[in-house]
Amino acid sequence: MSLENKSLVTIDDLSNGEIMALFSLADGMSANMKEQHGLCQGKIMASLFFEPSTRTRLSFEAAMQRLGGSVITVSDIGATSLSKGESIADMARVVGGYADIIVIRHPWEGAARVMADYAGIPVINAGDGGHQHPTQTLCDLYTIQKERHTIKGLKIALWGDLKYGRTIHSLIFALAKFGADILFCPSPGLEVPQHVIDKLITEYGGDLEKLGSLDQTAKDNLFPLDAIYTTPSSPHQLAMMPDISVQIELKEGVDALYVTRPQKERFDAGEEGRDFKEKYPVVDKKLLKGRVFRKTLVMHPLPRVDELAYEVDADERSMYFKQATRGIPVRMALLSFLLGARGLDVPEVDSPPPVDYPVYRHDISPVCPNPKCVSIQATEIKYLKPEFKIVKTRPLTLRCVYCEHGFEPKYVASTDWHEGKLDTKKYHDADSHWARTIRPENLIVFNKAEEAQAHGFKPSHYTGGHH
Amino acid sequence: MSLENKSLVTIDDLSNGEIMALFSLADGMSANMKEQHGLCQGKIMASLFFEPSTRTRLSFEAAMQRLGGSVITVSDIGATSLSKGESIADMARVVGGYADIIVIRHPWEGAARVMADYAGIPVINAGDGGHQHPTQTLCDLYTIQKERHTIKGLKIALWGDLKYGRTIHSLIFALAKFGADILFCPSPGLEVPQHVIDKLITEYGGDLEKLGSLDQTAKDNLFPLDAIYTTPSSPHQLAMMPDISVQIELKEGVDALYVTRPQKERFDAGEEGRDFKEKYPVVDKKLLKGRVFRKTLVMHPLPRVDELAYEVDADERSMYFKQATRGIPVRMALLSFLLGARGLDVPEVDSPPPVDYPVYRHDISPVCPNPKCVSIQATEIKYLKPEFKIVKTRPLTLRCVYCEHGFEPKYVASTDWHEGKLDTKKYHDADSHWARTIRPENLIVFNKAEEAQAHGFKPSHYTGGHH
Amino acid sequence: MSLENKSLVTIDDLSNGEIMALFSLADGMSANMKEQHGLCQGKIMASLFFEPSTRTRLSFEAAMQRLGGSVITVSDIGATSLSKGESIADMARVVGGYADIIVIRHPWEGAARVMADYAGIPVINAGDGGHQHPTQTLCDLYTIQKERHTIKGLKIALWGDLKYGRTIHSLIFALAKFGADILFCPSPGLEVPQHVIDKLITEYGGDLEKLGSLDQTAKDNLFPLDAIYTTPSSPHQLAMMPDISVQIELKEGVDALYVTRPQKERFDAGEEGRDFKEKYPVVDKKLLKGRVFRKTLVMHPLPRVDELAYEVDADERSMYFKQATRGIPVRMALLSFLLGARGLDVPEVDSPPPVDYPVYRHDISPVCPNPKCVSIQATEIKYLKPEFKIVKTRPLTLRCVYCEHGFEPKYVASTDWHEGKLDTKKYHDADSHWARTIRPENLIVFNKAEEAQAHGFKPSHYTGGHH
């Protein structure tokens, strides 16, 4: 099997089997680094980094060069045509004519999707805003797999900024896909966003158990724990147990503690001044003396700031520099796959079946409410049509196909109105009985009554306060 | 024949035959991309970009790497020694000792000329301020040639910012060289500069017909048209016809419509606030429905802003992404030529004979009045001697050899004054009878009376208001 | 012999024999440039430039590519993880997992030392603040060696900014190592720092003779001369002669005049406004007509500003562009050495024996007083323990192992106090008789009385004004 011409935008673009096949190839490459130098000779990787980065960019560039390929780089948004107002689609088509594969990092969420849609060559998402960072996730999974020989059934604690950490978002879905349990240990105020939780539960199954206050877990002499996700494949009964029994469940210990720094560059205005460290323990020697951490892999996507003490570096549980180093063979494997330089021998591994949502794509359309979504930026709105997955009907919930943020429109209408009678052109409350009778292919949604009225719709009996 | 060690600073540095030979080679390379990988192995291209750029820089770097060569890059003026006050000549000599060929983009007009003068290795101008961008022109011509199999006799409309678009300036001379007619369709206020028109007429022959007001052409149901240039090789009688018959002439349609964005980064203070789109149509589906555009190639050097609608992208007349993609084989051909990796089989093609102007180079010299000219910048004036071509005598007109801007000095004198009699050290009005008796090799010019007096000259009888 | 896995942080990391062996290899490479292209195939150099640079970065990158190796580059501090607060140690460990060798330029003094301590692969210092720039020094020495066939016994004049010019500091030690005499010709106010002088005298032997005022040397019709260093290997008697005889000594002329620009980017607040050119002659044709300069090599590390006139460029004594060009084979030799691609045939050459100072490394420790020292920066202080060499006892002088700045602590104590009697926990004046009885391994030092008291020490009889 070949992944040639496939793109990697979210971690879901790879099946569990493909991921395991990549890891096998990475193992082989890492054992014979020098022999890979002819594999991508003559191939060009475009490395487009529109956000500060050292690690990821250098890792990709080194990986491509270890394969004998070469690299063209944009690493500074100021020095590029983006400052002349160029759209991502235009850049995609142009660079797609120069290179054989594109790696992109961009502050707009969904930017890599747009790049992949227009480039005509494979595109790898190296981080798009707070959305995803799937190759970091591959490095993370690879390290867990190498150290524990499985991912299924492990207990992985996520620590720190779970709100803006895109590595966290990719990792959550990947862990769920492989059947790991997840312990959420957010810095207060930096909890996992609801749209990530929603996707987790609806697409990967399993349960999320919210725990008591941090004070309670602290009293229980446990590390700060906000919620626990248990996969459907998990044999234990954790989800049904009250908070107090978390201790019992955790007596076998945590398999990995994944620490992240506060992503200050993505904080909004209100958050900037706050000190998120205040109430939250630093991961240091003292914390790691806890029983539950006895055999824990200490992981971090790096760079760190203050959340992970240097005194831990020499500890054999510390994996973060190994994670970085292992990024080279993992990315080499990925690049040679996507460039068609290596075929793929995919093992039989269970993957959760993809969920097939109805799609909302209509000339009358709300715009995505996420201010960082690529689809609403001035240069992109000229050509990108909004498009959403209808992921829930009660309440009606749409998810942007670009940034994957969800929202609940307030009003709906039906394309069925056009039966000659203009009177039938009505809009309804999205949570009304009537709204639920509209079939997805006929659905029109609005965030505001004014939007509906601007398109000639009138309030119906099922529109609260409008008749 | 070999172009080895030649530089490409303006499009005139290549004869028509050489350009056609480059295109043949580009055809061959594009057909066998993989076989070119050994051609420049071991060669180094220095890619020096002192202005924002993605497209051109990446295109050159990809082209060099497709040839098996490698690249050293400077892509940010802030990160370079220019910020330590280094001159272009010094950088040229240093980088000339590191690399085998230099590609330079620079905001100062004439910078590539200086680089070429001092580097000791071939230099390619990738855009110097508003002056020229000859490799973009090669890509443009290549696309026209591939699509129409000739350039001679075609009607090419230039659309948008014809004032600051350096790609436009290079293209105008190239089209004239190959015998195409040019339709000027500038955004109001962004007309082609006079010095470009002057060079066009005096060096390439042909005629420029100014048309009536835009209102008139609009009334005639035509697209906005400011002037028409007809080459001497053109058989038609357009130049002799009144405005009204433009419609008749254009009944066969326009062969290419070359659209450009407003080059806002080069606008002067007064222009910045203005809205140049205001009175000017966007190139969109509606406009392209016009009869004259039925078979028109729609071209754009990219990036675009708002002047070219995305709805046109899928139209088969749209050439702009092809232009970009074809930049790779064109630049590969050029690089391998200039590096001596490929010989040249130059066909017999008519080229307009080069015009040989007398040169003004004198210790007593005015400075170039173009504020963006390389020769007057603080770091360059230390070693660059002003030098001008005397391109016209009535009125006396000098053209800077660096930026090619022209100007008309107000006063002249003769080096013949030094016959012992200090009384003969006189200066005269440049448009006086006496001025025209001075032979070019004896000519001294001044922009101001004060300059003349500072050098010890006194006003003569032929100096208005000074005797 | 192999230099594999060795780092080059200061010029002292190479013995005289190794330097001469490098120069032989550079000679060979420069004669057969094309044959070196397979030498480092498959190897990756990380080029980490956290300060503006063209020359040095491009020179290293071109050198690596001439060897067939490839390059990953960071050339802008804004575009890197340093802006996310990453430490040098973390970056070292990460990049050390990607590349085979690291070249680093950094504004903090001692940064390259830290990089070398943590990277696990060879590190080359390409300039760390005002500290050292050893590969520039290699290029300088190589040029002198090629032109004069020796360094020993030559008279080398250093001209301009001797305070902030790191190339100057590396060069001084290198010249002393090879037995050259040094004439110091600083711009007034930009004299060689005392810590450099101290190291020069104590580690390389020889004498420094301070000359009379600049006015005096000017009166003697000599170029401005501040001090003369004569090596121990020097047979002449200069150091014993009064100022007036300098003229006699210099009658054979100066062998090289090494000019530097004012390093304005490192000036402190008080210096920024001053005009250092004011009292100091520019090196121009006129100056070089002086008898002493008749056969002088005119050198400059470039870039120049105004201190070296362009009119000198064509002079056959001018070496500065040759210095730059020769940087390629020198760096090629160095890279292939450190990467283990070439063995080393080290000739027998005298090197001054390394001086073995006692080291001060204690939990109770002052911090380095140099504000640009890497060891006191917010991101580095988290893990770096201060460490000093005790280079002198009268007055007690410590030298930071990172930035090599020296300082004289005011107070001392002894770890011997812990004999149960708290009364013995005393601190003393560093210049007291008692202080000198403390053995180095027991020494504790303080810059302030408060520091001593904060650690529970009380003033002793040998603490001035404290009892």
Report how far residue C114's alpha carbon sits from residue C374's, in angstroms, rounded to the nearest whole number: 8
Report how far residue B170's alpha carbon sits from residue B163's, in angstroms, rounded to the nearest whole number: 12
Residue B65 with chain A: CB contacts under 8 Å: 44, 70, 72
- With CB atoms and an 8 Å threshold, state whether A53 touches C90: no
Report how far residue A384's alpha carbon sits from residue A403's, in angstroms, rounded to the nearest whole number: 13
Judged against a pLDDT cut of 70, whether residue A423 lies above it is answered with no
3 state DSSP class of B462: coil
Distance from CA of C112 to the nearest CA of A (A): 18
Q: Return left, alpha or beta for B247; rule: phi > 0 is left, psi -120 to 50 is alpha, else beta.
A: alpha
Options 3.40.50.20, 3.90.480.10, 3.40.50.1370, 3.40.50.10860; CATH of B135-323: 3.40.50.1370
Residue C73 with chain A: CB contacts under 8 Å: 73
Other CB atoms within 10 Å distance of the CB of residue C215: 9
Residues of chain B with CATH 3.40.50.1370: 11-131+326-338, 135-323
- Please name the residues in contact with C435: beta carbons below 8 A apart, sequence gap of 6 or more: C396, C412, C428, C429, C462
- With CB atoms and an 8 Å threshold, state whether A72 touches B65: yes
Q: What type of residue is C189?
A: G
C-alpha torsion sign, points A51, A53, A59, A62: positive
Which tens digit of pLDDT belongs to each residue from B190-229?
999 988 999 999 899 888 888 765 555 555 556 778 888 9
- With CB atoms and an 8 Å threshold, state whether B90 touches C303: yes
**Cα separation values, B19 from B4, B135, C317, Å:** 15, 11, 43
Distance from CA of A150 to the nearest CA of B (A): 41
Distance from CA of C3 to the nearest CA of B (A): 25
Report the CATH number of the C11-130+324-338 domain.
3.40.50.1370
Report how far residue C457's alpha carbon sits from residue C467's, in angstroms, rounded to the nearest whole number: 13
Residue A383 with chain B: CB contacts under 8 Å: 310, 313
3 state DSSP class of A291: helix
Of B70, B83, B93, the CB nearest to C65: B70
C25 or B466, greater pLDDT: C25
Q: What is this structure's pTM? A: 0.93
- Please name the residues in contact with A9: beta carbons below 8 A apart, sequence gap of 6 or more: A112, A113, A116, A123, A125, A132, A134
- Please name the residues in contact with C334: beta carbons below 8 A apart, sequence gap of 6 or more: C8, C22, C124, C135, C138
Distance from CA of C310 to the nearest CA of B (A): 6
**Residue A352 pLDDT grade (very low, low, confident, very high; cuts 50, 70, 90):** confident
**Residue A218 pLDDT grade (very low, low, confident, very high; cuts 50, 70, 90):** low
Residue A52 with chain C: CB contacts under 8 Å: 78-81, 83-84
Residues of B with a Cβ under 8 Å from any C Cβ are: 41-42, 44, 46, 70, 72-74, 76, 78-86, 89-91, 93-95, 97-99, 382-383
**Cα separation values, A272 from A190, A192, A264, B211, C1, Å:** 12, 18, 7, 59, 56
Class of domain B11-131+326-338: alpha beta
Of A70, A79, A95, the CB nearest to B75: A79
What is the count of residue pairs from A and B with beta carbons less than 8 Å apart? 84
Element (H, E) at C426: strand C426-429
| Contacting subunits of A (3+ beta carbon pairs below 8 A) | B, C
Domain covering C135-321, topology: Rossmann fold (3.40.50)
**Of the given ranges (A129-133, A261-265, A277-281, B23-27), which has the lowest mean pLDDT?**
A277-281
Which of these, C434, C297, C331, lies nearest to C36 by C-alpha position? C331
Paired residues of B445 in beta bridges: B412
- With CB atoms and an 8 Å threshold, state whether B84 touches C34: no
Per residue, the 3-state secondary structure of C182-232, as one string, reads: EEEEECCCCCCCHHHHHHHHHHHCCEEEECCCHHHHHHCCCCCCCEEEECC
Residues of chain A with CATH 2.30.30.20: 359-459
- Please name the residues in contact with A384: beta carbons below 8 A apart, sequence gap of 6 or more: A89, A114, A374, A375, A402
Mean of pLDDT over chain A: 87
Of B49, B66, B303, the CB nearest to A84: B303
Paired residues of C396 in beta bridges: C393
Distance from CA of B38 to the nearest CA of C (A): 13
- Please name the residues in contact with B281: beta carbons below 8 A apart, sequence gap of 6 or more: B223, B224, B287
Mean of pLDDT over chain C: 87
- With CB atoms and an 8 Å threshold, state whether A94 touches B328: no
pLDDT at B352: 82
Residue B44 with chain A: CB contacts under 8 Å: none
- With CB atoms and an 8 Å threshold, state whether B98 touches C325: yes
Report how far residue B48's alpha carbon sits from residue B75's, in angstroms, rounded to the nearest whole number: 6
- Give the side-chain half-sphere CA count within 13 A for C338: 27
Report how far residue A339's alpha carbon sits from residue C6's, in angstroms, rounded to the nearest whole number: 37
Residue B328 with chain A: CB contacts under 8 Å: 97-98
**Cα separation values, C181 from B444, C142, C156, C246, C320, Å:** 52, 17, 6, 13, 21
- Match 């050119």 to its residue by tokens: C277
Interface residue of C51, C58, C142 to substitute, partner B, most B CBs within 10 Å? C58
Residues of B with a Cβ under 8 Å from any A Cβ are: 34, 37, 49, 52-55, 58-59, 61-62, 65-66, 68, 70, 73, 75-76, 261, 265, 302-306, 310, 313, 321, 324-325, 327-328
The pLDDT of A32-61, averaged and rounded, is 93
Report the CATH number of the A359-459 domain.
2.30.30.20
Q: Find, in chain A, the residue whose alpha carbon is nearest to that of C99.
A: A62
Rg, Å, chain B Cα set? 24
The pLDDT of C41-50, averaged and rounded, is 96
Which tens digit of pLDDT belongs to each residue from A177-210?
999 999 999 988 899 998 899 999 989 988 888 8
**Residue A79 pLDDT grade (very low, low, confident, very high; cuts 50, 70, 90):** very low
Residue B261 with chain A: CB contacts under 8 Å: 84
**Cα separation values, A445 from A365, A374, A465, Å:** 7, 20, 18
Q: Could you write out the DSSP letters of every residue in A84-148?
A: GT--HHHHHHHHHTT-SEEEEEESSBTHHHHHHHHHSS-EEEEEETTS--HHHHHHHHHHHHHHH
The pLDDT of A364-373, averaged and rounded, is 93
pLDDT at C30: 96
Of B65, B310, B321, the CB nearest to A97: B321
Distance from CA of A191 to the nearest CA of C (A): 21
Residues of chain C with CATH 3.40.50.1370: 11-130+324-338, 135-321
Bridging pattern class, strands B207-210 and C155-160 = unpaired
Distance from CA of A14 to the nearest CA of B (A): 29
Paired residues of A48 in beta bridges: A74, A104
CB B108 within 8 A of CB B131: no
**Of the given ranges (B179-183, B224-228, C100-104), which has the lowest mean pLDDT?**
B224-228
Phi, psi dihedral angles at A401 (to 5 degrees): -70, -15
- With CB atoms and an 8 Å threshold, state whether A72 touches B58: yes
Judged against a pLDDT cut of 50, whether residue C25 lies above it is answered with yes
Interface residue of C39, C47, C55 to substitute, partner B, most B CBs within 10 Å? C55
3 state DSSP class of C326: helix
Percent of chain C with pLDDT over 90: 62
Q: Where are the alpha helices (DSSP H) in C340-397?
A: none
CB A299 within 8 A of CB A258: yes
- With CB atoms and an 8 Å threshold, state whether C61 touches B76: no
**Residue B77 pLDDT grade (very low, low, confident, very high; cuts 50, 70, 90):** low
Residues of chain A with CATH 3.40.50.1370: 11-130+324-338, 135-323
Judged against a pLDDT cut of 50, whether residue A242 lies above it is answered with no
DSSP designation for C271 = H
What token pair was written down for B457? Answer: 């000259």
What token pair was written down for C239? Answer: 């150091």
Judged against a pLDDT cut of 60, whether residue B236 lies above it is answered with no
- Match 């096949």 to its residue by tokens: A21
Of C44, C82, C90, the CB nearest to A304: C90
Which tens digit of pLDDT belongs to each residue from C244-270?
455 556 778 999 999 998 887 777 766
Residue B98 with chain C: CB contacts under 8 Å: 58-59, 62, 324-325, 327-328
